[in-house]
A and B are shown apart, each in its own frame.
Chain A
């Protein structure tokens, strides 16, 4: 698929970049995408509206970051 990229007519300012196939991106997205969302959950929402860990430690530790990154904090 990637090999069939047709040369464009005229002289492009930027050479065409062959797109990365979805098959290559998917496993990385699945693993690191979910990992990143979990990290964002702990920074943005844990011990706020929902809690996986009891107590206030996580919430209090990232308190200022949560406010200044725009997450609803309390």
Chain B
């Protein structure tokens, strides 16, 4: 009954995740690596019990192949998840076309998966963060992501519920405001994760965190644009075939 294929969208999502992961990798390499190196230099100058000697993976591998593995796998995995969310959102969030829906899903993912958790538990360069509190910080970080994603889903549902009464614009504003209030309450009550060693340069910490934000922004902006393009091509040509609309399928074929 439905010719939109989940498989086709999922494959495109993972491909778009790989492509935007490559852009994010470039960003991380250009903006992030110098800060990681500077932080490691600080760490080595200030730690006394650094178990030196054997280095399991060299810095030059960590900053290239290792970094690429991490970011590309992250991109593919989140691209796949975002494509599945997209399958559900398509035709349900409102009267948005394939590209606009992709942009909205990407924006939502950036805010819910990274930006909101980041504002409470920002990324830390090497040397920042007490290894003894790693378990707690990891648990809080993933808890914050889960909470933020659940709240984002609740916000969309609330917005849809309010829309018939308030209209789309004010329903979106009201739901967004409710999201901010609940996130603010969560921020106020969850414990802080900051543990910056004395003498760690504030500018370096700021630049490192800004770089991680840039990596995520590039990842999600890239994903939204690339996946939106691929989805539009897939869905518009499908719709054209269905309606026997020759012009639409001709355009779609020509676009290939």
Interface centre among A3, A56, A65 (most CB of B within 10 A): A65
The answer to whether B91 touches A64 (Cβ under 8 A) is: no
Nearest to A36 among chain B residues (CB) is: B77
Interface string of B64-75 (1 = CB under 8 A from A): 001111110110
**Hey, which chain A residues are within 8 Å of B2, CB to CB?**
2, 18, 20-21, 24
Q: Chain A, 15-35, contact with B by CB distance < 8 Å: what is the 0/1 string? A: 111111110110011001101
> Does B28 have its Cβ within 8 Å of any Cβ on chain A?
yes
Please name 20 pairs of A and B residues whose Cβ atoms are closer than 8 Å in the assembled complex, sorted by A.
Answer: A17-B235, A20-B6, A20-B87, A21-B2, A24-B6, A35-B77, A36-B76, A36-B78, A40-B77, A50-B138, A64-B63, A65-B70, A65-B71, A65-B74, A66-B70, A67-B32, A68-B212, A70-B117, A70-B216, A72-B141
Residues of B within 8 A of A (CB): 1-2, 4, 6-7, 10, 28, 32-33, 36, 56-57, 61-63, 66-71, 73-74, 76-78, 80-81, 84, 87-88, 90-92, 95-98, 100, 114, 117-118, 121-126, 129, 131, 134-135, 137-139, 141-142, 193, 211-212, 215-216, 235, 239
